[in-house]
Structure 1
Amino acid sequence: MLIVSLVLAALAALIHVVIFALESLMWTSARARRIFGTSLDEARATQQLAFNQGFYNLFLAIVTAAGIAFVLAGPLPVGAALLFAGAGSMAAAALVLFLSAPDKRGAALKQGVLPLLSVLALAIAL
């Protein structure tokens, strides 16, 4: 179950790096606007907020990747703590989105299911 948790966490981290790129680097691009359903004017008006939010996603991915690295390097308690913090925060943020924005539930599931499953698999493994 530990390997399952690490694979799921790695996939979740990758998704969050992509979200970072879309929000922080590509927010006003046609692709990002299509994905997030915003007009060019809306994207320009919210660009600073999206830039900041994207970095939250990147930092969650970094914490999760660090947890994976620590688990693989040997200090399991350190790695597990980082995985619980990183992937657990991803899942919690997705839950907030799911509950607060019914029209964005699909996005919440896309960004929250893998980290939730990773956390559950890690809990079982430990």
Structure 2
Amino acid sequence: MTILAVVFAALAALLHVYIWVLESFRWTEPATRKTFGTSESDAAVTAPMAYNQGFYNLFLAVITAVGLVLIGDDHGTGTALALAGTGSMLGAALVLVTHDRTMARAAITQGLLPALAVVFLLVQL
């Protein structure tokens, strides 16, 4: 089970690094605007917020990655950090869909890998 936990947590971290790039550096690009359903004018106005939000995603990925690095040598600490990162990612996805049901697809994209990671991290305790 630890292998599945590590794989899903690593994939969740990589996805959130990708989201960081989109939100913090490519927010006003046409492809990114299409992905997030944002107009050109809205993207220009929300760029500072997206930049900040992107870094939240990066920090969650870093917490998860540090946990995965530690999980072999210090299982408890590594698991706790990986759960903190992936659990927060899952929490953010749940907030997204409960706030706006039209964001269900985005929430599933953002939350599926973290959800699987959380399940397998808890099972391997």
Regarding TM over 0.5, the answer is yes
**Are 2:117 and 1:122 aligned?**
no
* TM-score, structure 2 as length reference: 0.98
Report the equivalent of 2:107.
108
The alignment of Structure 1 onto Structure 2 pairs a total of residues equal to 125
Report the equivalent of 2:57.
57
* TM-score, structure 1 as length reference: 0.97
Give the root-mean-square deviation of aligned CA atoms: 0.7
Q: Write out aligned runs for 1:73-112 (5 A).
A: 74-112=73-111
Query: Structure 1 segments of 4 or more deviating over 2 A?
Result: none
- Give the letter aligned to residue 22 of structure 2: L
Alignment partners' CA distance in 1, 2:22 and 2:110 = 14
Secondary structure of the structure 1 residue equivalent to 2:28: coil
Q: Deviations over 1:77-96 (max 9, x none)?
A: 11011011000000011000
Report the equivalent of 1:34.
34
Alignment partners' CA distance in 2, 1:80 and 1:113 = 19
Alignment partners' CA distance in 1, 2:116 and 2:30 = 32
